[in-house]
Amino acid sequence: MNFLHPDIDQYASQNSAPETALLTELSRETHLKTTMPRMLSGHLQGRFLAMLSALLRAENILEIGTFTGYSTLCLAEGLSANGKIYSIDSNDETTSIAKKYVKLAGLESKIELITGNAMEIIPAMQQKFDLVFIDADKENYSNYYNMIIGQMKPGGLIVADNVLWSGKVIEEVKPNDKETNGLIHFTKMVCADDRVSALLLPVRDGLMLLRVK
Per-run averaged pLDDT (10 residues), the chain, 213 residues: 83 96 97 93 95 97 98 97 97 97 98 97 97 97 98 98 96 95 98 98 94 97
Q: What is the pLDDT of residue 29?
A: 97
Q: What is the pLDDT of residue 3?
A: 75
Whole-model pTM? 0.96
Instruction: Tell me if residue 148 falls in helix, strand or coil.
Output: helix
Catalogue all structural domains in the chain, each as residue range(s) with its CATH number: 6-212 (3.40.50.150)
Separation between Cα atoms, residue 132 and residue 16, nearest integer Å:
23
Q: What is the pLDDT of residue 149?
A: 98
Q: What is the pLDDT of residue 55?
A: 97
Tell me the angle at which helices 42-56 and 21-33 cross, rounded to the nearest 10 degrees: 130
Separation between Cα atoms, residue 40 and residue 98, nearest integer Å:
12
